[in-house]
Amino acid sequence: MTHSSAAHLIRGARLTGRDPADILIRDGVIAEVGPGLSAPDARVVEADGLIALPGLVDLHTHLREPGREDAETVASGARAAAAGGYTAVHAMANTDPVADTAGVVEQVWRLGRESGHCDVQPVGAVTRGLAGERLAELGAMAESAAAVRVFSDDGMCVSDPLLMRRALEYVKAFDGVVAQHAQDPRLTEGAQMNEGVVSDRLGLAGWPAVAEEAIIARDCLLTEHVGSRLHVCHVSTKGSVQILRWAKSRGCDVTAEVTPHHLLLTDDLAESYDPIYKVNPPLRTAEDVQALREALADGTIDCVATDHAPHPAEAKETEWATAAMGMLGLETALSIVQHTMVDTGLLDWAGVAERMSAAPARIGRLSGHGRPIAPGEPANVTLYEADTAWEVDPAALASKSANTPYRGMRLPGRVTATFLRGTPTVLDGKIQ
Amino acid sequence: MRHLLSTGDLSRDEATLVLDTAAELAQVSGRSVKKLPTLRGRTVVNLFYEDSTRTRTSFELAAKRLSADVINFSAKGSSVSKGESLKDTALTLQAMGADGVVVRHPASGAAHRLAGWVDGAVLNAGDGTHEHPTQALLDAYTMRARTGRVEGLRVAVVGDVLHSRVARSNVLLLHTLGAEVTLVAPPTLMPVSVHTWPCAVSYDLDAVLPKTDVVMLLRVQAERMQNAFFPTAREYSRRYGLDRDRLARLPDHAIVMHPGPMVRGMEISAEVADSARSTISEQVANGVSVRMAALYLLLGGS
Amino acid sequence: MCARKRAESDAEASPAADPTAPGAQTARTVLDGPEIQRALTRIAHEVLERTKGAHDVTLLGIPSRGVPLARRLAERVEQVEGRAVPWGSLDITMYRDDLRLAPARALGRTEIPPQGVDGRVVVLVDDVLFSGRTVRAALDALNDIGRPRAVQLAILVDRGHRELPIRADYVGKNLPTSLRESVDVRLAELDGRDAVLLGPARPRPGEEDDR
Ligand SMILES: [Zn+2]
């Protein structure tokens, strides 16, 4: 990070895809935006043909530290995030120990600060040990140095309706949000993949869409009833989209995210029995994928979240049933969104900025992120070359793990630079 | 075809070839020298992660009748039970020079995974709730031996279809061979997308029996009750068990099959299991011939 | 399961028989139908003579074309002696020494007459004797079925080029050939007509057939 204090003049970038302009970054903030800027002391970043986006924000990242540092650390995850154009990520609470106390969330937050590649905002567990029995000390985590606002038992569903109601009520006191991993546990006992034609043929225990949809419907009603704020993690089915649309139309304060992989991949990939495609929630059908894309386009789904879930090789080089669930996402997310949403005409770059930066920052109450690229704003900027393509090589990713489902695929677009409060974390496509 | 993983991979000609080959090889068990030199110098590994003396012995006998060297690698008392991964075991088998691996595993798709890790031929001897191809082949063989044909046969497969690898393999194979399959089970034991399968579906065994040439009963594990698949063993048996009264509803020529092991009194009454209609002991004998055929066709050539 | 169909492997021999196929012009008939019939009649008589009335004889044809030849010989013996001679077929596929050189082959039929082979004079019958490897395999196969008193060999065409110490007891026609030639036997039961054709050798990758 040799250029941390230097000023940078980004020349000719198209702001969220519009007309080219120069961006002068000084002292961690955006000093000026406009055509033909000059600053003799600034390092010039040629951005002709590049798209400038506000630094991306991920609401849903698994960094594995503490506990599984062999799969990912806060530092390696933050590098992967920077490489993917992110300036802030929310680190999920299902670490070991679980991030259910002020002590653990502060540890994670500090590790993120030390890494310097990306802001790491811890998510606090809703229940102690993710056990779904008793509330964790939500207030203490909110008041800690990490200032936790997003609470989630992700990986586990807060399935007890009474406990969910209490959590939703309780977080109102500090403007928190409960991010629900919607999965009815009884309906998904032993579940391996989306329940349907493919699971029946493969003899893999089915994971019915209703297990997700029933929880979302219930939680929307609870949220409306207690006047709180609900966020739905990784929406994966068409039915969920319809329920969310209905809940929003009633004025329910619910937001939702979709993962890049659910915007692209379908359950028939499981026919290889390669658990690289095993993920929670499972890959669904083409019809679901289409519904999710449309929902992201029309705002029923508010944002894209990666659910970046690193796993060591041995957790995937096994038979399907014993393999770990989850896939990498940080370094491919923007390319997948371009491929599924922009190149299909469903979303423009301003829409991408909203779905991948502004909305997640708003939901997570990160005031320093997701801001427009305008004078006086924190200089969190991502430069992206849309008119290129690259082949995904798992070994070349910054993540410590290699479990990407896109191995060998050609994806459009590459992040060429990421600035975190004026400091380049990625420059010329290389992590700094 | 390099492996036998699913009956869905077999064309009609290929499936018929297996049955024809098995019919020729069946003669060997009637000879004084019950051995052929065909697989001399070839190594077949039986890799069994589930206890199944019946299937393992059948494969072992089949391989030995073809003069292959047979190594039994069972989950008990080996590195397998000490938590070695399937992949590491596969690499070990590879290093041993296994020409063929017969694998039984509780996880669906385990045979597919193994096929990606070893050079030798992989024979799926049952993977989770997915498939059990040689069982379906021996069932089809038995039907053909008893009735003279498979095409046009009306076959009712009765029982826990949802969890049955035998049902999956049979539906695919019998469809390929031109039989008309009807699955019969309580709706809880049917896959949700069963209407997309190449077969008919019924919840009413009594209605199906008179129009049936072959009844194939699947094992129903009593522990399914705990997950509310059916209320009691008694109710299951009353609605779907094959007893003497139901046997009487079958056409006179119809046969009764069971892949074993049977739960007498649950899906089949002892009386029916031991009746002349029952092919249960033939199925065991035919299993060896069919497995010889599969081993020969996979390992006998270049 | 890439077993080659039996019909398919036989079909390999058909171009010479098919006048429209390439190479048909160069294949010539060395035995026609009546000549084949006469050769079989002569062999039948020789069998009767050598086995003193063929009382203990069992004829076993080697699939594919040895089988109809065995049946024809049995018919001729019966015509002469007025007594049926047991005949059957003996598939040698599982005993071949070249199995690994080609995809697994479909099996031919083995049908041993009810009398079995123990104590019998078994006459193996095949269409062409070439390297001798088929007969070697047949002897092995026979050995696993029982213990004949004697084994003899009847052949429609002996084309030479033996690779094993094997000779025929009864020969329809000795036909000196070059290795660049192939001998194709057509029989009415399988091919619609009787003929023995000599044509240019076709590449038979990995296959050492007695043709
Ligand atoms: Zn989750």
Reported as a single tens digit per residue, the pLDDT across B32-48 is 889 999 999 999 999 99
Start and end residues for every CATH 2.30.40.10 domain found in chain A: 8-51+377-431
Mean pLDDT calculated for residue range B192-212 = 97
Is residue B162 located within the same domain as residue B178? yes
Task: Chain B: give the shortest CA distance to residue C89, in Å.
Answer: 12
Say if residue B91 is in the same domain as residue B76: yes
pLDDT score for C10 = 38
Per-residue pLDDT tens over the stretch C123-181: 999 999 999 999 999 999 999 999 999 999 999 999 999 999 999 999 999 999 999 99
In sequence order, which residues have a C-beta less than 8 Å from that of residue C31 and are 6 or more positions away?
C39, C156, C157, C172, C173, C195, C196
Instruction: Answer yes or no: is A250 a known binding residue.
Output: no
Q: Binding site annotation covers A63?
A: yes
CATH number of B88's domain: 3.40.50.1370
Distance of CA A183 from the midpoint of ligand 1 (Å): 9
Q: Do B107 and A321 touch (CB under 8 A)?
A: yes
pTM: 0.91
Nearest alpha carbon to residue A270 among A285, A288, A291: A285
- Interface touch B24/C95, C-beta < 8 Å: no
Q: Which of A200, A202, A273 sits opposite B192 (nearest CB)?
A: A200
Q: Does A touch C (3+ CB pairs < 8 Å)?
A: no
pLDDT, tens only, A237-256: 999 999 999 999 999 999 99
According to the annotation, is A280 in a ligand binding site?
Answer: yes
Task: Using the predicted structure, report yes or no on whether residue A321 has a pLDDT greater than 60.
Answer: yes
Please check whether residue C170 is in contact with residue C121, taking contact to mean a CB–CB distance below 8 angstroms: no
Subunit contact A317:B168, Cβ cutoff 8 A: no
Q: Is B31 annotated as a binding residue?
A: no
Which tens digit of pLDDT belongs to each residue from A85-122?
999 999 999 999 999 999 999 999 999 889 899 999 99
- Chain C residues in contact with B14 by the CB 8 A cut-off are 1, 3
Q: A317 in contact with B at a CB cutoff of 8 Å?
A: yes
Residue of C90, C97, C92 lying closest to C163 (CA atoms): C97
What is the tens place of the pLDDT at every residue in A397-419?
999 999 999 999 999 999 999 99
Mean pLDDT along residues A252-270: 98
- The shortest C-alpha distance from B87 to chain A (Å) reads 6
- CB-CB neighbors (< 8 A) of A200 in chain B: 191-194, 196-197
User: Does B36 sit within 8 Å of C100, measured CB to CB?
Assistant: no
Taking CA–CA distances from B22, the nearest residue in chain C reads C107
Residue numbers in B near C94 (CB within 8 A): 36-38, 66, 296, 300
* Predicted pLDDT at B233: 87
DSSP E strands in chain B: the ranges are 43-48, 69-74, 100-105, 121-127, 154-158, 180-184, 200-202, 214-217, 255-257
| Nearest-by-Cβ selection for C91 from B4, B24, B296 | B24
Handedness of CA A198, A200, A205, A208 (dihedral sign): positive
**C66 to chain B, closest Cα gap in Å:** 18
Q: How confident is residue A5, by pLDDT bands cut at 50, 70 and 90?
A: low
**Is it the case that residue C34 has pLDDT exceeding 80?**
yes
pLDDT of amino acid C14: 40
Place of tokens 């939901």: A363
CB contact, 8 Å: A190 with chain B?
A: no
Subunit contact B4:C105, Cβ cutoff 8 A: no
pLDDT at residue A313 greater than cutoff 80:
yes
Give me the pLDDT at residue C149, please. 96
- Put simply, the answer to whether B300 touches C99 (Cβ < 8 Å) is yes
What is the pLDDT, as a whole number, of residue C8?
A: 37
pLDDT tens by residue, A350-368: 999 999 999 999 999 999 9
Shortest CA distance to A34 belongs to which of A50, A17, A19?
A19
pLDDT in tens, A196-238: 999 999 999 999 999 999 999 999 999 999 999 999 999 999 9
pLDDT surpassing 50 at residue C206: no
* Total beta-carbon pairs less than 8 A apart between chain B and chain C: 69
List residues of A with catalytic annotation: 307
Which of C94, C96, C139, C144 has the highest number of chain B CBs within 10 A, making it the mutation to test binding with B? C94
Predicted local confidence at residue C25, as pLDDT: 52
Distance CA A23, CA B24 (A): 81
Question: A280 CA distance to ligand 1 centroid (A)?
Answer: 6
The side-by-side arrangement of strands in the sheet containing A56-61 is: A56-61, A86-91, A119-122
Ligand 1 center to A320 CA (angstroms): 19
- B86-114 average pLDDT score: 94
Beta carbons of C2 and B1 less than 8 Å apart: yes
Contact C103/B302 with Cβ under 8 angstroms? yes
pLDDT at C1: 60
Mean pLDDT of all residues in A319-334:
97
For residue C101, list chain B residues with Cβ-Cβ distance below 8 A: 302
* B43: its two tokens: 């190594």
Report the pLDDT value the prediction gives residue C17, as an integer from 0 to 100.
44
CATH number of this structure's domain A55-364, picked from the four choices 3.90.1150.10, 3.40.50.300, 3.50.50.60, 3.20.20.140:
3.20.20.140
Residues B209, B215, B218: CA angle, nearest 5 degrees: 120
What is the Å distance from ligand 1's center to B226 Cα? 28
Phi–psi pair at A405, nearest 5 degrees: -80, -5
* B34 is annotated as contributing to ligand binding: no
Percent of chain C topping pLDDT 70: 84
Domain range for B251: 133-279
The answer to whether residue C84 scores a pLDDT higher than 50 is yes
Q: What is the distance in angstroms between the Cα of A401 and the nearest Cα belonging to chain B?
A: 19
Report the C-alpha gap between C15 and A83 in whole angstroms: 65
Structure confidence at residue B268 as a pLDDT band (50, 70, 90): confident
Total domain count, chain B: 2
Q: Which residue in B4, B27, B297 is closest to C110 by CB distance? A: B27
Please indicate whether, in this complex, the C-beta atoms of B21 and C105 are within 8 angstroms of each other: no
Helix axes A286-298, A238-249, angle to 10 degrees: 30
Instruction: For residues B178 and B282, give the distance between their C-alpha atoms in angstroms, rounded to a whole number.
Output: 22
| Cβ contacts of A317 on chain B, cutoff 8 Å | 85, 87
On chain B, the residues whose CB falls within 8 A of the CB of C1 are 1, 4, 10, 14, 17-18, 294, 297-298
Beta-carbon pairs below 8 A across chains A and B = 64
Handedness of CA A312, A314, A316, A321 (dihedral sign): negative
Q: pLDDT band at residue A133, thresholds of 50, 70 and 90? A: very high
**Is residue B261 part of an annotated ligand binding site?**
yes
Q: How far, in Å, are A9, A11, A42, A277, A334 from residue A4 at the CA level?
A: 13, 19, 12, 39, 25
**Hey, how many other C-beta atoms are within 10 angstroms of the C-beta on C98?**
15
Distance (angstroms) between ligand 1 centre and the Cα of A304 equals: 13
Task: Find, in chain C, the residue whose alpha carbon is nearest to that of B36.
Answer: C94
B12 and B101: one domain? yes
For the domain made up of A8-51+377-431, give the CATH fold: Urease, subunit C; domain 1 (2.30.40)
E strand segments, A101-213: 119-122, 150-151, 177-180, 193-194, 206-207
Residue C2's pLDDT is 52
Q: Which residues of B237-276 are buried (b: 16+ CB within 10 A; e: fewer)?
A: beebbbeeebbebbeeebbbbbbbebbeebbbbeebbeee
- DSSP letter string, A246-306: HHHHTT--EEEEE-HHHHH-BGGGGGG--GGG--SSPPB-HHHHHHHHHHHHHTSS-EE--
Nearest to C140 among B10, B32, B37 (CB): B37
Q: Do A319 and B193 touch (CB under 8 A)?
A: no
Local structure of residue A208 (DSSP, 8 states): -
Residue carrying structure tokens 């003996």 = C90
Query: What is the token pair recorded at C62?
Result: 């080697």
Give the number of other Cβ atoms within 10 Å of residue B41's Cβ.
10
* Domain contains B2: no
DSSP string, C8-21: HHHHTTGGGT-TTS
- Asked if pLDDT for residue A1 goes beyond 60, the answer is no
CATH of domain C34-97+112-177: 3.40.50.2020
C-beta atoms of C107 and B24 within 8 A? yes
Domain assignment of residue B172, yes or no? yes
Same domain, B153 and B84: no
Q: Residues B142, B269: one domain?
A: yes
Q: Which of A46-50, B229-233, C204-208 has the highest mean pLDDT?
A: A46-50
Residue C56 has pLDDT above 70, yes or no: yes
Tell me the ipTM for this assembly. Answer: 0.92
Whether residues B150 and B62 share a domain: the answer is no
State the average pLDDT for chain B: 92
The residues of chain A that CATH labels 3.20.20.140 are 55-364
Q: Do B296 and C104 touch (CB under 8 A)?
A: yes
**What span, in angstroms and rounded, lies between the C-alpha atoms of B256 and B247?**
9
**Average pLDDT over every residue of B274-288:** 89
Q: Which residues of B have a CB under 8 Å from any CB of A?
A: 85-87, 105-110, 112-113, 127-131, 165, 168, 191-194, 196-197
Computed over every residue of chain C, the mean pLDDT equals 86
Q: Is A246 on the interface with B (CB under 8 A)?
A: no
Cβ of B18 within 8 Å of Cβ of C1? The answer is yes
Residues B119, B55 share a domain: yes
Pairing of strands B154-158, B214-217: parallel
R_g of chain B computed on alpha carbons: 19
C-beta atoms of A317 and B85 within 8 A: yes
* Tens of pLDDT, residues B125-134: 999 999 999 9
Q: How far is the C-alpha of B264 from the C-alpha of B280, rounded, in Å? A: 13
Q: Is B106 annotated as a binding residue?
A: no
Cβ neighbours of residue B134 under 8 Å, at least 6 residues apart? Answer: B4, B55, B59, B123, B124, B125, B287, B290, B291, B294
pLDDT in tens, A36-72: 999 999 999 999 999 999 999 999 999 998 889 999 9
Give the residue with greater pLDDT, B72 vs B183. Answer: B183
In Å, how far is B17's CA from the nearest CA of chain C? 7
Residue B299 CA, chain-centre distance (Å), reads 20
pLDDT at B81: 56
> Using a CB-CB distance cutoff of 8 angstroms, which residues of chain B are in contact with residue A318?
85-87, 113
Q: Which of C120, C187, C177 is nearest to C148 (CA)?
A: C120
Query: Which chain A residue is nearest to residue B192, measuring alpha carbons?
Result: A196
Residues in chain C within 8 Å Cβ distance of B301: 2-3, 99-100, 102-105
Average pLDDT in the C72-76 region?
A: 96
In a domain, B1, yes or no: no
